[in-house]
Amino acid sequence: MVDYSKFFSEYVRSIKASDIRELLKIVEKGNVISLAGGLPDPRSFPKDEIAKIAREVIERFGEKALQYSPTRGVSYFLEAVKNFSIRHGVAVNEGDGIITTVGSQQALYLLGRAFLDPGDYVVTEEPTYLGALQAFRGIGVRYLTVPIDEDGMRTDKLEEVLKKAKSEGLRLKMIYTVPTCHNPAGTTLPMDRRRHLLELAEEYDLIVVEDDPYSFIAFEERDVKPLKTLDRSGRVIYLSTVSKILAPGLRLGWAIGPDPLISRMELVKQEIDLHTSTLSQYIAAEAMNRGVIDRHIPFIKRLYREKRDAMLAALEEYMPEGIKWTKPIGGLFVWVWLPEGVNSRKLLEKAIEKGVVFVPGDPFYPSGGGENTMRLNFSYPSPEEIREGVRRIAEAIREYQG
């Protein structure tokens, strides 16, 4: 018998499979209502149009669409992303580059490898996106976290955090933020805070990573512009993806930012996988250029607004006193603050007994805390499941408290 463990690298030994993820995997196979996932509703995929496009791009451009392609991306797709971005209010400036990635997750991984060293500090919201923490995990970075309120990152607190860090001589490099329809918190940062954040990035000479998978499908109007568009000095790297506007199964994302930064991400990507699926890029480029995505977005917005409404109504109706939650204008999640002292991991055990699951909030807090928070997903379950799921969670809370 071979002792395989002796072959494991130090790095892989340090990766702990998430206990919550493992638990949910098992439980979700049973007959439970899941508000734990993060999947888009499959009805949000314009299936028939994608099928038609797939066939046509292969027939028409097969020699290219099925061939190896450049690490940075197929120029036909990069051009489509540029036009799509500009059409939707995301500035692509002279001197900017674009790189295609295997979903936004890979963009985060590339950012980590290209710009972060062990001991560097990343500044982020608290709670923050778990995928970013995973992407940076192997590097040995540390976090400075900034609390949020119902409007997202408290930039007054950000200022305090940066000031303190500078006085302590910490190696600060990057602010990572999801300013619009935050995952997991569901918040959207107002314009004045966006400007404040950029001023601070300027003052402290930081790069800003704006992770923006959701703004194209925000279902309520807000007068906000992407940080990328507000950026005057070229320090924002903007990430997005077709996962929520076309189909996540294409595994297709992109990063737009100053070319010297994008070209460093390209060097790392070349080592990892040479390039992103050429076929996915051709399909998405056509879907952008033919207006398939633009025409489909209103439907996706209606779909998620209805579900968000169902969740907010159920929270309003069933939740006991002393519980707060965000009112997202888009995205897939509502964030819930339980009363101090309620531990959402323990609550989850009770919830499972009642046939409902959610994600406890503490893994989203890289500096610890968040034990009394949880994330609820409304994009995948039906309005009926949302209503019944929230009812059961409320019941579990009452039992927990009482």
- According to the binding rule CB under 8 A, does residue 167 interact with a second copy? no
Q: How many CB atoms lie within 10 A of CB 79?
A: 15
Of 261, 292, 336, 390, which one interacts with a second copy (CB under 8 A)?
Answer: 261
Closest by CA position to 220, among listed 322, 308, 137: 308
Considering only 128, 229, 280, 344, the residue that binds a second copy (CB under 8 A) is: 280
How far is Cα of residue 207 from the mean position of the Cα atoms in its chain? 18
* Residue 270 vs 353, nearer CB to a second copy: 270
Of 243 and 326, nearer to a second copy (C-beta) is 243
Judged by beta carbon, residue 17 or residue 26, the one nearer a second copy is 17
Residues 6+ apart with CB under 8 A from 222: 188, 190, 329
Closest CA to 346 of 271, 287, 270, 401: 401
Q: Which of 23, 79, 88, 134 binds a second copy (CB under 8 A)?
A: 134
User: Taking CB under 8 A as the rule, does residue 31 contact a second copy?
Assistant: no
- CB–CB of 345/360 below 8 Å? yes
For residues 137 and 350, which CB has a smaller minimum distance to a second copy in the complex? Answer: 137
User: Does position 366 bind a second copy by CB under 8 A?
Assistant: no
Residue 279 to residues 97, 107, 191, 276: CA-CA distances in angstroms?
21, 19, 38, 9
DSSP 177-207: E--SS-TTT-----HHHHHHHHHHHHHTT-E
Contact status: 183 vs a second copy (CB under 8 A): no
For residues 212 and 240, is the Cβ–Cβ distance under 8 A?
yes
Question: How many CA atoms does the CB half-sphere of 314 hold within 13 Å?
Answer: 24
User: Of 30, 140, 147, 260, which one interacts with a second copy (CB under 8 A)?
Assistant: 260
Tokens of 340: 């101090």
Q: How far is the CB of 264 from a second copy (least distance, A)?
A: 5
Q: Residue-wise over 47-57: b if at least 16 C-beta within 10 A, else e?
A: eebbeebbeeb
Under rule CB under 8 A, residue 267 binds a second copy? yes
Return the residues of window 47-76 that contact a second copy according to CB under 8 A: 47-48, 50-52, 54-56, 58-59, 62-69
Q: Which of residues 221-250 bind a second copy (CB under 8 A)?
A: 233-235, 243, 247-250
Which range binds a second copy by CB under 8 A, 110-118, 157-165, 339-347, 383-391? 110-118
Nearer to a second copy, 134 or 401 (CB): 134
By CB under 8 A, tell whether 321 contacts a second copy: no
179 binds a second copy (CB under 8 A): no
